[in-house]
Structure 1
């Protein structure tokens, strides 16, 4: 009996030692961003593994050496665009195979992450689709709901108008005592009034009087207002009073990188929204991807708007620079709101100081900024004035849709759809964009 007990203990110890030496596959997390699906395996230690594909039918195989499953892995949600199911099996009594059934072929990329404060070791597999949303004649489309609206927008295009400085911060001072905070506020008021007269657009004043607003609070006000664009208005100054001209700035890459690091590192930003998505419940890599996608899109739009505004400035006075300038200004650092900073003139130049105080010049400057925003909207199909529609039919773009797919859905050609929405460069569209649907063709 004693020998039997010792044998039983040895067997239990042997099993424990075997499991202790193996890697535990704890769980699987699945997330999707754009055309990329990400699989994150939480593990007890970085495993030796292989990732490969099989076809007919398409599936992804992950072989974990010396590993075991702690619990059943999470299954993909029903109607997932790529994943149809997940199966597991033990091989050679010590290895684990995970098979992921796919809708179509993919180009997998895998990497491992060491433990951090929030998560243990992880194996990450990205599954970007090889051909993104290719449309064939056999594809059937379920028509999206067509929206009837008078101004062609369920939500107006919101512009946060930020008058620089304010209160205790007077900004630059001209030779004749003109304060930057005062003249830029007057220009901002005129810009907001002009925007509010434009159908489909709405202005939100970041500061509504002569008081101080911190730089980060200006960004927060714009975000709370669900702004689509942030325009900060300033007057430049230099120790050489002969320097003149207006200029437009967007965020430098260095400024964007440092701000991204701050968002990811600082706890106060953990629950903030980036492009409508909270970062609070995302792992560090996914949060980084979301932030990078949002920042890239915002910077691209910022550059396009800035170019259009700068073109219009050339019609009313000197330009300090004929190119959009880059700088790390704090108010330009919202990762999810396209932002530009306008230097209306040099208040340090007596002639331009006098102009800045002029109601006529302030109106011209406000109109130039608004025209620049409208030029961007017309060129890049925001459809603020969808005049090509005769019955008020528009289509709001959902995730995964393409221009060709929408054209097929409504029985129009791709060229007709692009022409109706002034889309001249490529087939680029964005989620939430509203398209005019040409009728009577």
Structure 2
């Protein structure tokens, strides 16, 4: 008896993924493209030059409608084209206005949203030059061109389809923490020697790892994630500050070492680790994590000290937790729970401009205190000094003297001040080295 086979019988065709549309948004120097699809699709992308183009190939996919985007002169995209490829695949070509550095991730269906492929196109142009001497004033020590701002990565939690916690009156965590983050970023950018980088500046979703990577790509000195706490007991209130737990650090170390095998450009604090033997890599990782956790603890303590001025602090000590967003092994990271959005009175505060401003002021003062002792060499705060200082609310004369590494007597003498009475907006002269 002969065996019955399927030779010659047609195989069932695999269902093709329908690409419904491409959406585009612009956030500063980053253009985001979102493919809405009815299923998953394997994809690849590559960059072509002369002229600049980004090519995206989706396997076993088709466009069921014409893929168009609106014209936005601030975007990196000039035009989009698409066509079938290899009989079953879809090729999409984006004509670019300028070179870009693309990154991508996939989102599964959630809360009515379909499968999505997200491309973030960061400007590949050279970074802007440092602030001019006219903006920063003369510096002591090293020349202005040799010094840089400290970089503060500010992460507004949640976003997009993830609203975070929702208060009794319907306030969404993602909205209030974005408002607070923007207020803090404005203050940081107005501060001598500081620069803010926001992981998100609009209402869109970012995976936790993407938030960390954005901070590391910006060479952030610290990472501050802003959230609003929630609990079933609506009477609980107060702010708190978290850093990564030792368990979280250990699991991240294992992940980081495993990642080394698959990523050629992996580094710690700018030091490449690919190709180094296991013992050296472990030493570098241990040093980086130990320093990062110690600095995170200091930053959290300085912020807690300032949050007492704004309202109730739920716990006066630094709390530790295994938050994924705090897991960068070489960037000191803290998570600030601004207040309990589940508490009706604190929900009202979170919506209040006054409270948001006060909270941003407190966090900025905590940052100042931290960088006064932890600014890295080569930064304006560590190695430079302005000729004058404009007093902000809550500052003291002794605190200003400490910040600029001056004696209180020298600061008083330079400004003909006989006591410690100062006022917001007052301009102090900062004596320079003779």
TM range (shorter): 0.5 to 0.7
Change (3 A) 1:239 1:229: same
Contact 2:149–2:381 (Cα < 8 Å) also in 1 = no
Contact 1:389–1:439 (Cα < 8 Å) also in 2 = no
Number of positions where the alignment pairs a residue of Structure 1 with one of Structure 2: 257
In the alignment, structure 2 segments of 5+ residues that lack a partner are 1-140, 389-401, 408-429
How far is 1:185 from its partner? 0.3
TM-score, with length taken from structure 2 = 0.55
Paired with 2:347 and 2:387, the residues of 1 have a C-alpha distance of 50
Contact 2:163–2:173 (Cα < 8 Å) also in 1 = yes
Which residue, out of 281, 289, 292, partners 1:287? 281
Paired with 1:181 and 1:269, the residues of 2 have a C-alpha distance of 32
Paired with 2:404 and 2:189, the residues of 1 have a C-alpha distance of 25
Match of 1:24 in 2: none
Matched, 1:170 2:163: yes
Which residue, out of 231, 235, 240, partners 1:238? 231
Q: How does 1:86-125 map to 2 (within 5 A)?
A: none
How far is 1:271 from its partner? 2.9
How far is 1:390 from its partner? 9.0
RMSD: 2.8
How far is 1:195 from its partner? 0.2
In the alignment, structure 1 segments of 5+ residues that lack a partner are 1-145, 393-417, 424-435
Paired with 1:389 and 1:198, the residues of 2 have a C-alpha distance of 12
How far is 1:380 from its partner? 4.2
Contact 1:304–1:376 (Cα < 8 Å) also in 2 = yes
Q: How does 1:245-284 map to 2 (within 5 A)?
A: 245-266=238-259, 267-269=261-263, 271-284=265-278
Paired with 1:160 and 1:420, the residues of 2 have a C-alpha distance of 23
Paired with 1:335 and 1:283, the residues of 2 have a C-alpha distance of 19
Paired with 2:383 and 2:166, the residues of 1 have a C-alpha distance of 45
Match of 2:206 in 1: 213
Q: How does 1:263-342 map to 2 (within 5 A)?
A: 263-266=256-259, 267-269=261-263, 271-342=265-336
How far is 1:379 from its partner? 3.8
Change (3 A) 1:154 1:328: same
Paired with 1:286 and 1:249, the residues of 2 have a C-alpha distance of 30
Q: How does 1:421-432 map to 2 (within 5 A)?
A: 421=405
SS at 1:235 equivalent: strand
Q: How does 1:13-52 map to 2 (within 5 A)?
A: none
Match of 2:194 in 1: 201
Paired with 1:220 and 1:385, the residues of 2 have a C-alpha distance of 25
How far is 1:209 from its partner? 0.6
Contact 1:309–1:372 (Cα < 8 Å) also in 2 = yes
How far is 1:376 from its partner? 1.2
Paired with 1:327 and 1:422, the residues of 2 have a C-alpha distance of 38
Paired with 2:267 and 2:326, the residues of 1 have a C-alpha distance of 17
- Deviation string, structure 1 residues 293-318 (Cα, Å, up to 9, x no partner): 11111111111111000000000101
Match of 2:115 in 1: none
Contact 1:420–1:438 (Cα < 8 Å) also in 2 = no
Change (3 A) 1:379 1:275: closer
Paired with 2:431 and 2:255, the residues of 1 have a C-alpha distance of 42
Change (3 A) 1:269 1:320: farther
Change (3 A) 1:355 1:271: same
Change (3 A) 1:257 1:358: same
Contact 2:243–2:321 (Cα < 8 Å) also in 1 = yes
Paired with 2:403 and 2:362, the residues of 1 have a C-alpha distance of 26
SS at 2:164 equivalent: coil
Contact 1:252–1:327 (Cα < 8 Å) also in 2 = yes
- Deviation string, structure 1 residues 350-406 (Cα, Å, up to 9, x no partner): 0000000011111111111111010112244667557996999xxxxxxxxxxxxxx
How far is 1:421 from its partner? 4.0
Matched, 1:378 2:372: yes
Over alpha carbons, which structure has the higher Rg?
A: 1
- Deviation string, structure 1 residues 314-372 (Cα, Å, up to 9, x no partner): 00101111101001101110001110000000000000000000111111111111110
Paired with 2:265 and 2:143, the residues of 1 have a C-alpha distance of 35
- Deviation string, structure 1 residues 270-306 (Cα, Å, up to 9, x no partner): 5311111112111111111111111111111111111
SS at 2:329 equivalent: coil
Paired with 1:281 and 1:160, the residues of 2 have a C-alpha distance of 29
Change (3 A) 1:438 1:281: farther
Which residue, out of 147, 154, 163, partners 2:147? 154
Contact 2:148–2:380 (Cα < 8 Å) also in 1 = no
Match of 1:108 in 2: none
SS at 1:147 equivalent: coil
Paired with 2:181 and 2:215, the residues of 1 have a C-alpha distance of 15
Paired with 2:386 and 2:196, the residues of 1 have a C-alpha distance of 28
